[in-house]
Amino acid sequence: MKQLKFGSTGIEVPSVILGCMRMNSATEPEKVLQTAVEHGITFFDHADIYGSGECEQVFANSLAKTSIKREDLFIQSKCGIVPGEMYDFS
């Protein structure tokens, strides 16, 4: 898997990111994580509105069922997204 520099940090991350918007509907989400990591995908995209927050919980629970270490992953999350309003950081 091709690696890219993450901004100006010098940290290398995979060129492919796995979006977790539908993680709560996966039949075996831990298998999704395991397969992704086995193929070099260690960067995961989240947002607090994915599944009304359920996707992040499913991800955490699934990660706990694997031997994958949290410190080996890159997790990006977005916040303040309000359906119909775009963003609200109040």
Two tokens, residue 68: 């994958």
* Phi and psi based region of residue 15 (left: phi greater than 0; alpha: psi -120 to 50; beta: remaining): alpha
In whole angstroms, how large is the CA radius of gyration of the chain?
Answer: 14
50 is catalytic: yes
Domain that holds residue 64: 16-79
H-run or E-run covering 63: helix 54-64
In a domain, 36, yes or no: yes
- Of the residues 50, 56, 59, 62, only one is catalytic, namely 50
H-run or E-run covering 35: helix 29-38
In the chain, % of residues over pLDDT 90: 77
> 12-14 and 3-5: which strand pairing?
antiparallel
pTM of this structure: 0.86
Mean pLDDT of 13-23: 95
In a domain, 38, yes or no: yes
How many domains does one find in the chain?
1
53 vs 35, residue with greater confidence: 35
